[in-house]
Chain A
């Protein structure tokens, strides 16, 4: 792995963190005050900043830093996350996303916007910090204090007489130039027990000192009690070291960077020592100990006679240590509270997330798709095997049959599990919509609240990927055309803030996505007039409310008087409808004047399998997607009526529905079949119209694996895809909408097809 790959990982991770950030902020916006939500939000920004720093992405770092600082105020309860605060933060999240994209793909960001937000974020952080000053910041300042007084405690009085200096040098490390004058430092180092408790090691510190230059070391064992009174956790030894180094006092102190809080340390250059303390000899002479580095090689625990294992170091001990060392009781108690709170939060968080987070692995999508293909083949093979056993077995109850049934069960379960691998929650798409809503609300000057429900509803990744575009357009449409301006809403007695509700749920093996707004609803008079103007309907056409509402899905239809900047863009609801249909889905609208509109989309959970009705047409086996079929009929002679030269209608409960001969449309036969010899499938098609598709016979219903025709051949008009049936032969899946359109006289088009996994 090289840095570029890590950078790619970083950007992937940023995307996840940004999603996390946004969802957390939205939760806060909804009044969630769970500390773990705030923590997650903070962590997301913190993480992005950390990674960005590693790659020198300075713009990203500096924005993230300001954002993080403000979030930290929220986290430490210095800043109340009001709606106003969250508004700034949500915008900041958008900017952070833009900056991330700019860092990845190049390009620029709206710098004025970032600068404004930086100011706003800073204002929030500062404004609130001042207000909360008496309570909050002081302990922070105090907490860092113990660092300073501690080293001063070291005893300055040391005796030089009786020293038996042992020259101590490491050839490997001693790269000091000997000729120059090099100052010598005198170090007194007395570890506390906490030093060992934190995994520091006196002997390692001495080793590092030795690397600074020529060193002599003396161990003071005076405090070592008799064996029976010895506590193995206590620190009894202290050392007096003199090291000749050009790194000076600073170099020596830096060795003790990690240890200085947990020891008594005195460092001074030797001249002072000679002048100041040479004559003093109150203390008993120190004994020199050979300093054997070989001990170091066999593990971390070898620290001379004393076992420098850690003390009973739990939070309490650490706090107690901090207490005595600093003598700032307040700090300790505050720290204790912090520690307790942190522990409690951690436990709570653990409980909350242990089940939710689970364990995950990241798998290349190709591998999953390969597995799905193989399982698809397994299903087909199993079906073929079953069929040939049935054909060759007259008893029907042999043990082979029972085994086969179990195999079928297992195969189906494997297939379901494999499909589940590709299933993903719709959450990321929903989150993107939140941004769309914010942006469009800003542009239109409307106040909008987006409520999302069921974002954990799972659906195949392919479906998710293709969902964003139509959904974005529908949301734009809902805010731009659906919701009224705040003043108007107020005048109508509505909440000036409009609501857009985005819901996902599973219903009978499909995913249903609803987009509801509480706006004005469809203006039927206007839609009707527009349809008449555009020659979509006759001026005197008698249409139901539902039929009028559905007119908005007609090609080129737009209700806005002038094409607005937002919903314009050359995309109408007809395009939305078509892209939903291309996914094997349907869309419908219901609207109540003054109360709003609801768009309902129903989509298959996967594009890899499909529930179909297997039918026979002109000796060929075809599969008709079950979702398109409303009902099946056995036509009677009295219900069939000729209409014009070649059209035939079938009467169903007093309404007449055009009869479509599938065999004829697909050119499987040259003459029209007799409707009485076949079965009619009543299907719902694009535009809401119903058609009766004539087929010769129904073989049954089954789930089929969708196979691409395009992979090795080309798109075939009227055919959506192919599948392989139990006999091992290929069967074609009918493109119902294309067939219906062809029956209206439009030639079979090439633009609608089911995606397939090949």
Chain B
């Protein structure tokens, strides 16, 4: 069965890049535009892994991760964070919120897929 990835990013550009990369790698991809939508979509989509941006309107990546981890049903899902640079403070905050790992933007497709493979069975 195809692995299902939920991506959460407010940038249409990045969403499309994620979509193309993930679909080419044989993943099923579900997308949300911000943390609030991410939490909504999560309920119905039941993904195997989540890839989320940090800077987003309405609910940012930190809040979104905390929201996922608070949810009994989904708190064990691996969450990868997209960060623009290897910003130690942001990584740290993301980890504290409950992120599983991170991907540095601009990501190349191999790195993205590697990271996903690493945190999923």
Contact = CB atoms under 8 A, between A and B. Distances in A.
Tell me, yes or no, whether A and B come into direct contact in the complex with CB atoms closer than 8 A: yes
Interface of A: 1-3, 5-6, 9-10, 12-13, 39-40, 42-43, 46-47, 49-51, 53-54, 140, 143-144, 146-147, 196-201, 203-204, 208, 255, 257-258, 261-262, 296-302, 308-310, 313-315, 318-319, 321-322, 335, 338-339, 342-343, 346, 349-350, 353-354, 357
14 contacts: A9-B16, A12-B12, A13-B12, A39-B55, A43-B56, A50-B106, A54-B13, A54-B107, A196-B76, A201-B119, A204-B121, A255-B118, A258-B100, A258-B118
Nearest to B66: A315
Contacts of B119: 199-201, 204, 258
Contact of B99 (A196, A198, A322): A198
Contacts of A50: 11, 13-14, 84, 105-106
Interface string B104-121: 011100000000001111
B45 interface: no
Given A43-B57, A342-B63, A200 B11 contact: no
Nearest to B50: A199
Contacts of B35: 346
Given A6-B17, A342-B60, A313 B75 contact: yes
Interface in B1-55: 10-14, 16-17, 19-20, 35-36, 48, 55
Q: Which 9 A-B pairs have the closest CB atoms?
A: A258-B101, A144-B88, A53-B106, A10-B13, A199-B100, A199-B78, A51-B13, A346-B63, A54-B106
B93 A198 contact: no
A2 B120 CA distance: 27
B10 A343 contact: no
A353 B98 contact: no
A319 B96 contact: yes
Given A1-B20, A199-B77, A143 B88 contact: yes
A318 B57 contact: no
Which of the listed residues B77, B78, B102, B118 has the most CB atoms from chain A within 10 Å of its own CB?
B118
Given A13-B11, A49-B84, A346-B35, A54 B17 contact: yes
B10 to A, nearest CB: 7
Given A2-B20, A47-B13, 9 more contacts: A50-B105, A54-B106, A197-B75, A199-B77, A200-B101, A313-B70, A315-B97, A339-B97, A346-B60
A350 B59 contact: yes
Contacts of B69: 197-198, 310, 313-314, 318
B92 A143 contact: yes
Contacts of B57: 39-40, 43, 349, 353, 357
Contacts of A49: 84
A58 to B, nearest CB: 11
Contacts of A357: 57-58
Given A43-B57, A349-B57, A339 B17 contact: no
Nearest to A322: B96
Contacts of B10: 43, 47
Interface string B72-94: 00011111000010001100110
Given A13-B11, A54-B13, A197 B55 contact: no
B56 to A, nearest CB: 7
A9 B17 CA distance: 10
A318 B96 contact: yes
A314 B66 contact: yes
A92 B69 CA distance: 39
Given A49-B84, A310-B75, A338-B93, A42 B55 contact: yes
A309 B66 contact: no
A694 B40 CA distance: 64
Which of the listed residues B35, B102, B121 has the most CB atoms from chain A within 10 Å of its own CB?
B121
A337 to B, nearest CB: 12
B34 to A, nearest CB: 9
A3 B17 CA distance: 8
Main SS of the interface on chain A? helix
B55 to A, nearest CB: 5
Contacts of A350: 36, 58-59
A207 to B, nearest CB: 8
Nearest to A46: B55
B38 to A, nearest CB: 12
Contacts of A204: 118-121
A313 B71 CA distance: 9
A9 B19 CA distance: 13
A129 to B, nearest CB: 15
B58 A299 contact: no
A140 B89 CA distance: 6
B20 A6 contact: yes
Contacts of A2: 20
Contacts of B98: 197-199, 310, 313, 318
A335 B96 contact: yes
B24 to A, nearest CB: 11
Contacts of A46: 55, 84
A200 B100 contact: yes
Nearest to A262: B95
B59 A346 contact: yes
B58 A353 contact: yes
A533 B106 CA distance: 65
Contacts of A39: 55, 57
Nearest to B100: A199
Nearest to A42: B55
B88 to A, nearest CB: 4
Contacts of B60: 342, 346
Contact of A300 (B59, B96, B101, B120): B120
Contacts of A346: 35, 58-60, 63
A261 B95 contact: yes
A309 B69 CA distance: 11
Nearest to A321: B96
Contacts of B97: 315, 318, 339
A481 B84 CA distance: 47
B55 A309 contact: no
A99 to B, nearest CB: 16
A300 B121 contact: yes
A296 B101 contact: no
Contact of A342 (B16, B62, B84, B106): B62
Contact of A53 (B63, B88, B105): B105
A246 B96 CA distance: 33
Given A6-B17, A199-B119, A349 B59 contact: yes
Given A6-B20, A47-B55, A301 B88 contact: no
Contacts of B77: 199, 300
Which of the listed residues A53, A198, A258, A310 has the most CB atoms from chain B within 10 Å of its own CB?
A198
Contact of A314 (B36, B70, B76, B105): B70
Contacts of A299: 121
A250 to B, nearest CB: 16
Contacts of B16: 1, 5-6, 9
B84 to A, nearest CB: 5
B111 to A, nearest CB: 12
A300 B49 CA distance: 10
A308 B78 CA distance: 13
B13 to A, nearest CB: 4
A140 B91 CA distance: 12
Which of the listed residues A46, A197, A258 has the most CB atoms from chain B within 10 Å of its own CB?
A258
B14 A199 contact: no
Contacts of B106: 50, 53-54
A338 to B, nearest CB: 7
A355 to B, nearest CB: 11
Nearest to B96: A318
